Amino acid sequence: MYEALLESLRSRGVTLVAVSKTHPVEQILEIYRRGQRDFGENRVQELLQKAPHLPADIRWHLIGHLQTNKVRYIAPFIHMIHSVDSLRLLEEIEKQARKANRVIDCLLQFHIAEEETKFGLSETEAETLLQSPQYRAMRHVRICGVMGMATMTDNAQKVRTEFQHLRSLFERLRTTYFAEAPYFREISMGMSSDWEIAVEEGSTMVRIGSLIFGPRC
Give the interface with ligand PLP as residue ranges (CB under 6 A): 19, 21, 42, 63-64, 149, 191-193, 207-211
Q: Which is nearer to ligand PLP, 95 or 111 (CB)?
A: 111
Closest residue to ligand PLP: CB criterion? 209
CB of 58 to ligand PLP, least distance (A): 17
Q: Which is nearer to ligand PLP, 81 or 90 (CB)?
A: 81
CB of 13 to ligand PLP, least distance (A): 20
> Do 213 and 171 contact (CB within 8 A), yes or no?
no
Q: Which is nearer to ligand PLP, 132 or 153 (CB)?
A: 153
Query: 40: closest CA among 188, 144, 202?
Result: 188
CB of 1 to ligand PLP, least distance (A): 12
CB of 133 to ligand PLP, least distance (A): 30
CB of 46 to ligand PLP, least distance (A): 11
Q: Which is nearer to ligand PLP, 138 or 169 (CB)?
A: 169
Torsion angle of the four alpha carbons 90, 94, 97, 102, in this order, in degrees rounded to the nearest 10: 110
CB of 156 to ligand PLP, least distance (A): 16
Q: Which is nearer to ligand PLP, 115 or 131 (CB)?
A: 115
Q: Which is nearer to ligand PLP, 19 or 84 (CB)?
A: 19
Q: With left for phi above 0 and alpha for psi between -120 and 50, is residue 180 left, alpha or beta?
A: alpha
